[in-house]
Amino acid sequence: MERHNLLNEFPEFTTKIHDLKTTDNHFRKLFDEYHEVEHEIHKYNSGAEVTTDEHLHELKAKLLFLKDEIFIMLKN
């Protein structure tokens, strides 16, 4: 299963991601939460753990929301 690491998702913002992680607490919180949710989704998709389709759908929706919020911050 493909992972959706933010550095892979937004390679053009690698430096800005690093800078914001170290200077912006809100960005750091979003970044950490994104990776926690992405890791959880990966566990279910890889078969390492089992969940309901509804829960997986909710996690994917949350991941997209976080990604959108992060992208907004990266564009500014």
Any idea which residue has 């960005």 for tokens? 27
Structure confidence at residue 1 (pLDDT): 54
Any idea which residue has 């969940």 for tokens? 51
Give pTM, 2 decimals: 0.88
Structure confidence at residue 5 (pLDDT): 87
Structure confidence at residue 2 (pLDDT): 62
CA-to-CA dists, residue 45 to 16, 24, 35, 64, 69, angstroms: 30, 31, 15, 16, 24
Task: Look at the chain and count its residues.
Answer: 76
**Per residue of the chain (76 residues), what is the pLDDT tens digit?**
567 789 999 999 999 999 999 999 999 999 999 999 999 999 999 888 899 999 999 999 999 999 999 999 999 9
